[in-house]
Structure 1
Amino acid sequence: MGPMRQLFIFVTFFSLAFGGSPGNLFAKETIPTLFDPKVTTLENGLEVVVLEDHRAPIVTHMVWYRAGAADEKPLKSGIAHFLEHLMFKGTKTLEPGEFSAIVAENGGQENAFTSQDYTAYFQNVSADKLPLFMEMEADRMTNLVLTDEIVAPELKVVLEERSQRTDNNPAALFGEQFDAAQFLAHPYGTPVIGWRHEIEKLTTKDALDWYNTYYAPNNAILIVAGDVTAEEVFELAKKYYGPIPAREIPNRERVQEPPQLAKRVIEMSDKRVRQPSWRKSYLAPSARSEDQRNLRALEVLSQIMGGGVTSRLYNNLVVDKKIATSAGAYFHSGSYDKSTFVLYGSPTPDYSLEDVEGAIQAIVKDIVENGVTEKELVRAKKKLLADAIYARDSIRGAANILGSSLASGETIEQIVNWPKNISKITAEDVQKAAEMVFDDRKSVVGRLLPEDAKS
């Protein structure tokens, strides 16, 4: 996920149906629900969520497992992502690659993805094909077949993926080092794809152990969005997923980060770097935080500081002072455990990283001491809510946001009430959130430089 992830995290557009002009976005009558998620839980523990949308005869079918890279055991980094690859390799009833071939033959689209907190699989298909794909997805939830002959070649694929996306990309390598500095104990400091030396040692047994531990209905969320009714989806879920037995799932207890008492600074140089960059992150609350008002205030603060060309950072550093080619902020609000609030910038040729850092820190100091203006507050909240309006046209997007939020520990109530809670945020809330999060003792500063360059 990139820096713009904050534009859709928690933007639960399925719960929005705003009317009138943008100036009326905060009127109570303009924040009803558009799609009320219909929810049930099967006897085996599978949570089923349906978003009805009858504009087109298509459907998105997603299964989310509450198991991601941060749930991996020591020395097994990358196994969550590796198993994601292996889930396409065949079952007791389907040959390797047959799942994807059937999707293509039926004019559908499919993919999967792994994060620190979850792994998800989805298909976009015509509504009449839903039973077929529900049957196949249920099949690989319980009938996956793996052998050394299947696993070994795919391990090479994953290693090549790491080479292409990370090892050959200095910004990606820097990001790994930065996260490792931010999280000294918590597994968020380990990359989702895994460390190369650990990936190389993953085995068929490791993959099967992960599959048999976490891939169970009582550790999954089924999201179906599109031209369906909740009643028919519930019946299909009972038919195809219902017979799969529940399994004892380990408690989701991860090594927690000890209190950070000192600012950390890392610097990396690489001959492939052309543009130096600066980054600073602060530990911040997780999506499961009981203080939802503070969480929403941090989202508004992120929008004020880094939400586009009118934001404080971009407008000040790029437009007015012209000391940076880019500048912004983002709050990764969708984490199961402690998250981060990030500031970043890159200098123009006539300025240095110190110039960028000084200008950004001056803005931080001003917000902590003087708060934000009412104009900034209103504009930020309108932008967040407007993004939700524009996003509601995507059926898969709605399912994606709901699934990721639930898998990260949020409740349906918290998700559905997001627009109402955003609209209640005051300038005082934002200033308090800034005072809380901008603590230098809980920060990490990173500098990425061209080789032999001075900041």
Structure 2
Amino acid sequence: MWPHAILSIFTTIALIALPLASPLSQEFQLSNGLKLIVQEDHRAPVAVVQIWYKVGSAHEHRGVTGVSHALEHMMFKGTKAYPDGLFSQIVAEKGGRENAFTSSDYTAYYQQWSSENVGLSFELEADRMNNLVFKEEEFLKEINVVLEERRLRTDDNPQGLAREANRALAFQESPYRHPVIGWESDIKGMRLDDLEKWYQQWYAPNNATVVVVGDVSSKSVHKLAQQHFGGLARERVPVLRSANERISQGTKRLSMTSEKARVPMLLMSYKVPSLGSVRMSDEIDEADVYALDVLAEVLDGDASARFAKHLIRGESLATYASIGYSPVSLLDTLFSISAVPAEGVTLDQLEVAITSELLEIIQSPPTQMEMQRVKSQVVASRVYAMDSMENQATIIGQLESVGLDWRLKDEYIENITEITASDLVAVVKKYIRPDALATTQLLPESLL
């Protein structure tokens, strides 16, 4: 019983602490449009510096899919002031670490090192925001790296290929149907000038958010941002047009076989709202998003959740069952279920069992004790995550990059705790419908 008691304490602490979060966080806007968000955290003499560009695979179209990710690779290839490799060398020599990542909605770069190096981070990032050098030989090397990355993660990975196919099946018109890494034919057909044009279009101060979390002074960081980013010119940035997804006329189904697959796998994806799509619609209740988040935990939060308790241990229908849902997205997203059947269980039988488990929420809503346990888990997870400077910065950057107020991070726990069992019943009825479902079955050729 002690874990539940501790989680309840964390819930109380978190709710009490919410009003105290804002005074340590400040937002600044430079005259060229660059947004700076600083969150002071003086527990250790380190800082995380992140720069987020509001561009990802959702901004791409067929023919150039993967260009955001390819450009992320090229951003490490140097400028005239800091030639190829020097940026990373500087970070390493000062005991720091760096990386970057691309998603459907954004591309981000970060350094984590001594807080005395924040100004150096700004100098380096401001330079490559404006002065990246594009060389054909470096481009060709990186395209081969990207193709190898795609081969390992997707083309030679049956589960990865099935997930990619299921996403493209679920979304008919939304740009979320495109893989972040890009379709293979688009990567192979990509040219250096595609990256240069993308860089000129999207990499500008008025399309960027700089987030700093660590042992810093907000006033000093603002001054450093003015010094290094203030001289960069505002650019005309394209506007992402909202892609209204076509309403499905029924369940979409895809069956795949692979000689590389060792076990069967079932993927079930329902189109659902995100916090970003709520912002662009008057027809979606924001509470639905938090209810879907709690629903995912009720079904797949831990070993005591319904999937594990019923599908895996109880009826022995699955050896694995998991749910994926990302509420912080720009557009409507997916409530995705992936599962592996137990020996002797067909994929059709497993799909029926999972569907029954989903609809059981309506027939047998979570009890008050079950809701409390799940909410405590969600809250504790968020509290633990916020203990990390990197996670704090990432949450701020994600929210800002999908057009949401970063202060929403301080409201998340309260919004979760307000969700009731009736809210879960409502979202199951509203979104977990056959006409919103895309199902993909992956079968090893050895089982045919």
Q: What residue is the counterpart of 1:5 in the other structure? A: none
CA contact 2:57–2:105 (8 Å) conserved in 1: yes
Give the CA RMSD over aligned residues: 1.6
Equivalent of 2:48, from 60, 73, 79? 60
Output the CA distance in 2 between the equivalents of 1:285 and 1:40. 30
Look up the equivalent residue of 1:30 and give its one-letter code: I
CA contact 1:306–1:330 (8 Å) conserved in 2: no
Look up the equivalent residue of 1:175 and give its one-letter code: R
Equivalent of 1:93, from 65, 78, 81? 81
User: Pairwise mapping of residues 341-420 of structure 1 onto structure 2 (< 5 A)?
Assistant: 341-420=335-414
Displacement of 1:276 in angstroms is 0.8
Q: What number of residue pairs does the alignment pair up?
A: 435
User: Pairwise mapping of residues 273-312 of structure 1 onto structure 2 (< 5 A)?
Assistant: 273-288=261-276, 289-290=278-279, 291-312=285-306
Q: What residue is the counterpart of 1:7 in the other structure? A: none
Matched, 1:23 2:8: yes
Equivalent of 1:123, from 103, 111, 125? 111
The answer to which of 365-374 and 179-188 deviates more is 365-374
Equivalent of 2:317, from 316, 319, 323? 323
Displacement of 1:112 in angstroms is 0.4
CA contact 1:24–1:30 (8 Å) conserved in 2: no
CA contact 2:62–2:186 (8 Å) conserved in 1: no
Displacement of 1:101 in angstroms is 1.0
Matched, 1:191 2:182: no
Q: What residue is the counterpart of 1:440 in the other structure? A: 434
CA contact 1:31–1:420 (8 Å) conserved in 2: no
Displacement of 1:271 in angstroms is 1.1
Q: Secondary structure of the equivalent of 1:35?
A: helix
Q: What residue is the counterpart of 1:243 in the other structure? A: 231
Output the CA distance in 1 between the equivalents of 2:320 and 2:30. 49
Displacement of 1:31 in angstroms is 4.5
Displacement of 1:447 in angstroms is 0.8
Output the CA distance in 1 between the equivalents of 2:420 and 2:287. 10
User: Pairwise mapping of residues 214-253 of structure 1 onto structure 2 (< 5 A)?
Assistant: 214-253=202-241
Q: What residue is the counterpart of 1:42 in the other structure? A: 30
Partner deviation per Cα, 1:283-315 (whole Å, 9 max, x = no partner): 000222142211111101110011121111111
Change (3 A) 1:147 1:27: closer
Q: What residue is the counterpart of 1:11 in the other structure? A: none
Q: Secondary structure of the equivalent of 2:18?
A: coil
Q: What residue is the counterpart of 1:72 in the other structure? A: 60
Q: What residue is the counterpart of 2:282 in the other structure? A: none
Larger proportion of helix:
2
Q: What residue is the counterpart of 1:9 in the other structure? A: none
The answer to which of 282-291 and 173-182 deviates more is 282-291
Displacement of 1:433 in angstroms is 1.4
Look up the equivalent residue of 2:18 and give its one-letter code: P
Change (3 A) 1:21 1:307: closer
Equivalent of 1:165, from 153, 158, 179? 153
TM-score using structure 2 length: 0.93
The answer to which of 148-157 and 135-144 deviates more is 148-157
Look up the equivalent residue of 2:180 and give its one-letter code: V
Equivalent of 1:102, from 90, 93, 112? 90
Change (3 A) 1:161 1:329: closer
Output the CA distance in 2 between the equivalents of 1:92 and 1:144. 8
Displacement of 1:25 in angstroms is 5.3
Partner deviation per Cα, 1:323-352 (whole Å, 9 max, x = no partner): 211123232212200111122321111322
Q: What residue is the counterpart of 1:155 in the other structure? A: 143
Output the CA distance in 2 between the equivalents of 1:350 and 1:263. 25
Q: What residue is the counterpart of 1:211 in the other structure? A: 199
Displacement of 1:355 in angstroms is 2.6
Over the matched positions of the two proteins, sequence identity in percent amounts to 35
Change (3 A) 1:271 1:34: farther
Partner deviation per Cα, 1:178-227 (whole Å, 9 max, x = no partner): 11101111111111111111111111111110000000011011000111
Look up the equivalent residue of 1:172 and give its one-letter code: G
CA contact 1:35–1:52 (8 Å) conserved in 2: no
Change (3 A) 1:321 1:370: closer
Partner deviation per Cα, 1:140-185 (whole Å, 9 max, x = no partner): 0111111223222221221122122221111111111111101111
User: Pairwise mapping of residues 253-264 of structure 1 onto structure 2 (< 5 A)?
Assistant: 253-264=241-252
Q: What residue is the counterpart of 1:450 in the other structure? A: 444
Q: Secondary structure of the equivalent of 2:237?
A: coil
Change (3 A) 1:27 1:61: closer
The answer to which of 430-439 and 146-155 deviates more is 146-155
CA contact 1:31–1:419 (8 Å) conserved in 2: no
Q: Secondary structure of the equivalent of 1:63?
A: strand
Q: Secondary structure of the equivalent of 1:193?
A: coil
Q: Secondary structure of the equivalent of 2:270?
A: strand
Displacement of 1:24 in angstroms is 4.7
CA contact 1:68–1:115 (8 Å) conserved in 2: yes
Output the CA distance in 1 between the equivalents of 2:157 and 2:116. 43
Displacement of 1:26 in angstroms is 5.3
Partner deviation per Cα, 1:8-46 (whole Å, 9 max, x = no partner): xxxxxxxxxxxx953355559635245322111111111
Change (3 A) 1:30 1:22: farther
Output the CA distance in 1 between the equivalents of 2:409 and 2:403. 11
Output the CA distance in 1 between the equivalents of 2:12 and 2:302. 25
The answer to which of 416-425 and 354-363 deviates more is 354-363
Q: Secondary structure of the equivalent of 1:50?
A: strand
Output the CA distance in 1 between the equivalents of 2:135 and 2:317. 56
CA contact 1:47–1:218 (8 Å) conserved in 2: yes
CA contact 1:87–1:144 (8 Å) conserved in 2: yes
Output the CA distance in 2 between the equivalents of 1:98 and 1:356. 53
Look up the equivalent residue of 2:366 and give its one-letter code: V
Output the CA distance in 2 between the equivalents of 1:446 and 1:298. 22
Displacement of 1:356 in angstroms is 1.7
Output the CA distance in 2 between the equivalents of 1:38 and 1:335. 23
TM-score using structure 1 length: 0.92
The answer to which of 275-284 and 151-160 deviates more is 151-160
